[in-house]
Amino acid sequence: MSERVFNLPNVITLARLAAVPVVGWLILQQRWEAACWLFLAAAVSDGIDGLLARRLQQTTQLGAALDTVADKALGLVTLVLLTLEEAIPMWVTLAILLRDSVIVLGALSYRGLAGHLEIHPTWLGKTHMFAEFALLTLVLAGLAGLLALEGWLLPLFGIVFVIAVLSGAQYVWIWSAKARAAARFKSR
């Protein structure tokens, strides 16, 4: 039986993916308020599409893959452009980019070793995504003049940095253990 891939959760995910270049353009044009609201709507849609997929029993492999791509694209484009605008320090951006790179390279390496890959986000990984998206929303809101964040930005940057490092280390630990187990199984 084939999956019905054209469903409401997947349409919401596709809309989030379509929002990525628009958010990027709005940031490049320094249209901060519009960028903030569109980014926030796209970020909130991430929870909505997942909730609907589970509640309506419309989870699909395509939807799961698109969800990951949409999340990463939205976060990456916004993070990099805000860093280029000097609204986010390079050390925060590098920590997030290094975390994501290590996870992707580790997952691909594991798939090459074990021949399959099933990714289940950890609680800390989900916390990282929430913290990253919250930070990006707050920075955009600050640039738009919707919030006064002067005294709060450095602690927020520090929190997201620590969560990125811990989350990345957790994934390295988990996937290293899985890789060792897969290597032992293959050698039998």
Reported as a pLDDT band with limits 50, 70 and 90, residue 106 is confident
Largest interatomic CA distance in the chain: 62
Buried b / exposed e along 145-166 (16+ C-beta atoms within 10 A): eeeeeeeebeebbeebbebbee
Q: 49: how many CB neighbours lie within 10 A of its CB?
A: 25
pLDDT tens readout for residues 35-71: 999 999 999 998 898 889 889 888 888 888 888 899 9
Query: What percent of the chain lies above the pLDDT cut of 70?
Result: 91
How confident is the model at residue 50, as a pLDDT?
A: 85
Q: CA–CA separation, 73 vs 86, rounded Å?
A: 20
Reported as a pLDDT band with limits 50, 70 and 90, residue 119 is low
pLDDT tens readout for residues 90-102: 999 999 999 999 8
- Block residue for tokens 């926030």: 40
- Most confident segment among 46-55, 122-131, 175-184: 122-131
In this prediction the pTM is: 0.88
**pLDDT mean over 118-135:** 89
- Block residue for tokens 């594991």: 110
